[in-house]
Amino acid sequence: MQIEPFALERYFARYEFTARYLASCSDCDGLALEELLTLADDQARALWRDLRLGYTESLGHPLLRAEIASLYEGAAADDVLTGAPEELIFLAMNCLLEPGDHVIATFPAYQSLHQIAESMGCEVTRWQPDEGRGWLFDPEFVRANVHPRTKLIVANFPHNPTGALPSRAVFDEVVSIAHERGIHLFSDEMYRWLELDPGQRLPAGCEVYDKALSLSGMSKVFGLAGTRIGWLVTHDSALLARIAALKDYTTICSSAPSEILALMGLRARDRIVTRHVERIRHNLAELGQFLERRADLFACVPPRAGTICLPRLLGEVSADLFCRRAVEEAGVMIVPSSVFGWGDRHVRIGLGRAGLPEVLAKLEENLARTRF
């Protein structure tokens, strides 16, 4: 397959470990191993102590699959396949799609959610939010664009990079469209459980539709990106078996230590997630004050969930130029919207890292000396 470079990943590869300050990360700070071990229950600690570093079960450790299933209403361990989240997108798209198929996908997006289909020779219709209406994803767009060749709807709610979270009515409408047509719904839920108002949490796709696949993982919500553990949950067992069979050509199975660490993280989820949501709230308040002080430069639709938001630069300021100057002059790495192939007016700010207030202070200092 010929595939475009993953622009966001290339951007991070360039700056993540060289820039002094990171303002655009989408994960929460990685937990320290020591801390995770202290949060672990007796069973998981014993599994860690007695762990042997061989291959693991290719569908995932049975205890991990059971723990994941318990996160979803109506799911059983057999409905779960583990893998790295990015890997699971790749595998699922390859199993779901053929050249010439039509796909409707939320856009801008984590690139693989549309790029893999495009590179396979599918036609992808980009479902874009309306910033003027609070990053509204209008389901009427999906209804108007679905047609007999449409094989798949790809939704990512809470949304990267806007922080949008549609209402239950919007989500239900998308599910209904998929259901009426009997097509699959790939529901990327990597930021689910990080709603600022938990009352607005959407159901998981797999909880409401048998042909939905819910994707989630340890990276964003749980601060355990380094485990590279994620999962797909679906009641479509034939499809899950095909995806699992394709995984024999990628990683075969997950890393043994990672599975146990992920189990520990999931079992301590209440404490971990509460802390992360508190941090996001705090960072959002700090960001709000910063944006207010620089209202001459930015406008921002507040995020409703997840770890990121997407302020707009006012006037004619180029996001590429803004980000280049931030990293070169102040050592602050910020992701411009061009990395998502989506214009040159927005910048992504990450809210999941404890150091964000300090990073914003550095940026503000630099902006005070900068003219655009």
- Residues between 209 and 248 with contacts to ligand PLP, criterion CB under 6 A: 217, 219, 225, 230
Element (H, E) at 282: helix 269-293
- Applying CB under 6 A, among 111, 156, 254, 283 the residue interacting with ligand PLP is 156
Amino acid at 79: D
Q: By CB under 6 A, is residue 56 in contact with ligand PLP?
A: no
Residue (114 or 362) nearer to ligand PLP, CB: 114
φ, ψ (nearest 5 deg) of residue 201 = -60, 135
Place of tokens 């796909």: 103
Task: Answer yes or no: are the C-beta atoms of 302 and 154 closer than 8 Å.
Answer: no
Among 34-42, 80-88, 256-264, 275-283, the segment contacting ligand PLP (CB under 6 A)? 80-88
**Count of residues in the chain:** 372
The least distance separating ligand PLP from the CB of residue 50, rounded to whole angstroms, comes to: 27
- Radius of gyration (C-alpha) of the chain in whole angstroms: 20
The least distance separating ligand PLP from the CB of residue 110, rounded to whole angstroms, comes to: 4
Reduced to 3 states (helix: H, G, I; strand: E, B; else coil), residue 40 is coil
Residue (105 or 175) nearer to ligand PLP, CB: 105
Candidates 59, 58, 103; CA nearest to 79 is 59
- Applying CB under 6 A, among 56, 160, 162, 234 the residue interacting with ligand PLP is 160
Query: From residue 13 to residue 52, what is the string marking binding to ligand PLP with x (rule CB under 6 A)?
Result: -------------x--------------------------
Task: Answer yes or no: are the C-beta atoms of 253 and 21 closer than 8 Å.
Answer: no
- Applying CB under 6 A, among 79, 86, 101, 259 the residue interacting with ligand PLP is 86
Task: Answer yes or no: are the C-beta atoms of 106 and 85 closer than 8 Å.
Answer: no
User: Measured over all CA atoms, what is the biggest interatomic distance in the chain, rounded to whole angstroms?
Assistant: 60
Candidates 26, 32, 1, 74; CA nearest to 335 is 26
Q: By CB under 6 A, is residue 106 in contact with ligand PLP?
A: no
Angle at 139 between CA 136 and CA 143, to 5 degrees: 155
Q: By CB under 6 A, is residue 84 in contact with ligand PLP?
A: yes
323 contact partners, CB below 8 Å, separation of at least 6:
333, 334, 335, 336, 347
The least distance separating ligand PLP from the CB of residue 235, rounded to whole angstroms, comes to: 21
- Applying CB under 6 A, among 23, 164, 190, 305 the residue interacting with ligand PLP is 190
Q: By CB under 6 A, is residue 110 in contact with ligand PLP?
A: yes
Among 83-91, 232-240, 268-276, 331-339, the segment contacting ligand PLP (CB under 6 A)? 83-91
Q: By CB under 6 A, is residue 259 in contact with ligand PLP?
A: no
Q: By CB under 6 A, is residue 108 in contact with ligand PLP?
A: no
Task: Answer yes or no: are the C-beta atoms of 160 and 109 closer than 8 Å.
Answer: yes
Residue (139 or 350) nearer to ligand PLP, CB: 350
| Residues making contact with ligand PLP (CB under 6 A) | 26, 84-86, 110, 156, 160, 188, 190, 217, 219, 225, 230
